[in-house]
Structure 1
């Protein structure tokens, strides 16, 4: 494998750390903790935050191989857009109560903005598609697998043809090859998306199955799927706010249960009988 000719910002800092003078090292330790701050502050503001001189900022940037501070800021902004948690943290002096208020306010704003673009008719259409599909496949990578598993477990109470993949140790082809025209595929596309995400989504679309795409706001709206739900995920801290994602999954699962009719109630009843026989709950 050839070496990376344009290494990431943090890689450059770590590679040069042992060669730095004390003031540069103090600046390096600050940016290794809060690298996203470079995207937000000017060189003079960063010098004050890290308690170093403007000259130290210039030497530091040159040592890392950037043409100037703005060049470094552009690289950090691009890496911040990828969703890496280390770039989303910030050095702030808010009190704990202020931080809690910020998180709650952002969650409420995210919910309002997300559900302003979603109708109950669309949710019901997706719910009926789950009920009527030959099989529902739910694809969730990384963080999104927890939402995929939640959605499967809640709807499994009334429909038994729901599969989540990939599982631990699994490759994708075995499941993707089984998707057909009469299936529904729910694809979670939340940052940070795996490198294969676009290829997986294209493969699903080629299968001619009905597709429900659940993403964050960073994914451009797709017109080649049946439904594309874009959840707002900004947050005041280092982790994305997934409250709208969970809320959508909850509402969708609720409607699957409510719309499943007699067949769903029969399955619910059968499950309760087996719970009782096994003494599980």
Structure 2
């Protein structure tokens, strides 16, 4: 099914001048469209509400709301779409951003299954090796998680190596290892067969994702979720980083004696190699 921008382009020559006026406004403000109701779109385009209604019927939508629902679905799938409600609500972007961030943090903390979280921490403590996989937007999170876990224990690896494939690395995994897969939207197609392979091979796996990732959640032994909701175009990874921080701290407390000793050894090496500025 064609999306809105494709429908507008294909129907544009057949539209009336007034409908083309609305179409031109949409092309110029496409990322903000999700925030307008039909009356606002008519006012901003300088046409009647009836013209807006006729336009969307020509484009194949039963109602204007159907188009907005389509855009919301795209946004939830990870496509960047902005929401221009600042003028409508009278709030600043900063205030709305803060409010949404707090809502995200509250949601993931309230939804966290404490028993499952404790199981994950114990598993990370006893695993022979930990392999962390993250692609696209999940890669920086995977890299950060590895660096944090390395403070508490060794044998934590990031896969795949830059420019390489996964199969060579996965072939030697055993049930004594644990694989952490960070797979936030929009996920590469590889994630589902990867999790299925780990499941069939009996290799413990932790999936870190957004709450709506129902198609892949059942394939992992454990699931930890962090919402990505944002007031504007791009997903917010603040809650995901907060979850990583909690996970790393919990592992350090699980391995407190060994972890403290390791941290002191790392700090000593920093000084010996003169890697960091001491200020």
Tell me the CA shift for residue 223 of structure 1: 4.8
User: What does the per-residue CA deviation read over 1:84-127, in whole Å, with 9 as the maximum and x for residues that have no partner?
Assistant: 112x4335316996322222122122212211122555434322
Of residues 120, 129, 139 in structure 2, which corresponds to 1:135? 129
Of residues 158, 178, 182 in structure 2, which corresponds to 1:164? 158
Supply the distance in 2 between the matched residues of 1:279 and 1:147 (Cα, whole angstroms). 27
Q: What residue is the counterpart of 1:12 in the other structure?
A: 7
Note closer, same or farther for the CA distance 1:269–1:80 as it changes in structure 2 (3 Å cut).
Answer: closer
Deviates more, 1:194-203 or 1:52-61: 52-61
Structure 2 portions without partners, runs of 5+? none
Matches within 5 A, 1:169-248: 169-220=163-214, 222-223=217-218, 225-248=220-243
* Number of corresponding residues: 274
SS of structure 2 residue aligned to 1:192: coil
* TM-score of the aligned structures, taking structure 2 as reference length: 0.81
Supply the distance in 2 between the matched residues of 1:168 and 1:96 (Cα, whole angstroms). 46
Tell me the CA shift for residue 247 of structure 1: 0.9
Preserved CA contact (<8 Å) 1:152 1:163: yes
Preserved CA contact (<8 Å) 1:36 1:76: no
Tell me the CA shift for residue 152 of structure 1: 0.3
Of residues 82, 97, 107 in structure 2, which corresponds to 1:103? 97
Q: What residue is the counterpart of 2:275 in the other structure?
A: 280
Preserved CA contact (<8 Å) 1:233 1:244: yes
Supply the distance in 2 between the matched residues of 1:273 and 1:129 (Cα, whole angstroms). 28
Supply the distance in 2 between the matched residues of 1:57 and 1:92 (Cα, whole angstroms). 23
Deviates more, 1:147-156 or 1:198-207: 198-207
Supply the distance in 2 between the matched residues of 1:93 and 1:42 (Cα, whole angstroms). 14
SS of structure 2 residue aligned to 1:163: strand
Supply the distance in 2 between the matched residues of 1:112 and 1:16 (Cα, whole angstroms). 45
Preserved CA contact (<8 Å) 1:186 1:214: yes
SS of structure 2 residue aligned to 1:85: coil
Supply the distance in 2 between the matched residues of 1:197 and 1:270 (Cα, whole angstroms). 36
Tell me the CA shift for residue 161 of structure 1: 1.3
Structure 1 portions without partners, runs of 5+? 1-5
Preserved CA contact (<8 Å) 1:179 1:204: no
* TM-score of the aligned structures, taking structure 1 as reference length: 0.81
Supply the distance in 2 between the matched residues of 1:168 and 1:17 (Cα, whole angstroms). 44
Note closer, same or farther for the CA distance 1:25–1:156 as it changes in structure 2 (3 Å cut).
Answer: farther
Preserved CA contact (<8 Å) 2:133 2:159: yes
Preserved CA contact (<8 Å) 1:129 1:184: yes
Note closer, same or farther for the CA distance 1:203–1:10 as it changes in structure 2 (3 Å cut).
Answer: farther
Note closer, same or farther for the CA distance 1:76–1:119 as it changes in structure 2 (3 Å cut).
Answer: closer
